[in-house]
Amino acid sequence: MLRLVARRGYAATSVPDVIAAARVSRNAFYAQFADKEACFLAVCERDLPEMVDTIYTAAAEAGEDWREGLWLGLHAYLRWWQERPEYAQAYFVELPRAGERAVGQRDAAYRPFLDMLAALGARARLEDPSLPPLAASVPRLIVYGSTEFIAAEVRAGRAADLVSAAADLYRYAVTLLTASRPPLPPGPASPPGSTG
């Protein structure tokens, strides 16, 4: 399923295609999965816990410096996807095209990363109490922004070079994790009574 979706796209991949490629019977397929969507979602979810463990293991080598932990974890995350280009194509490009359940599954898969970044922001403030309070939206901005950036790289055929984006994504994350909240400019786009 993963290989076929990466090569042909989700819409063009059929259950008979998967059965033929896997060399299993139709009954064997349907004993495991209700339909094509269920099979694809299972494939996309299967290795994510391993990836999260890889990030935590890499970041743990940083010791007390939260920035080093972010750098090592981010590098491990990008390398993980880079080493799995078919998975990256299926997950970042085809999963959003697979329907509402797929998008819901991807949103649920963000949770460990949101928690990781919130904890990192808290750790940064323990190490440097002069940092301003972390805005609640920051972990989401980092996860969603980074995900879309990586998806664009994969769509452009650069999955084999994702690690080269580590420095830019690191700077992006550090900037958001440490930034103050400047006041909003006056005008019709500002919420009433807003000062920041």
pTM of the predicted model over 0.85? yes
Asked whether 80 and 51 are in contact (CB, 8 A), the reply is yes
Give the Cβ contact number of residue 195 at 10 Å: 8
pLDDT at 183: 72
Fold of 47-178: Tetracycline Repressor; domain 2 (1.10.357)
Whole-angstrom Cα distance, residue 6 to residue 27? Answer: 24
Whole-angstrom Cα distance, residue 59 to residue 55? Answer: 6
The mean pLDDT of the chain is 91
Give the closest residue to 113 by CA, choosing from 71, 67, 144, 153. Answer: 144
For residue range 39-70, list pLDDT tens digits in order: 999 999 999 999 999 999 999 898 889 999 99
pLDDT at 18: 95
For residue range 5-34, list pLDDT tens digits in order: 999 999 999 999 999 999 999 999 999 999
How would you class 66 by CB atoms within 10 Å of its CB: exposed for 0-12, middle for 13-18, buried for 19 or more? buried
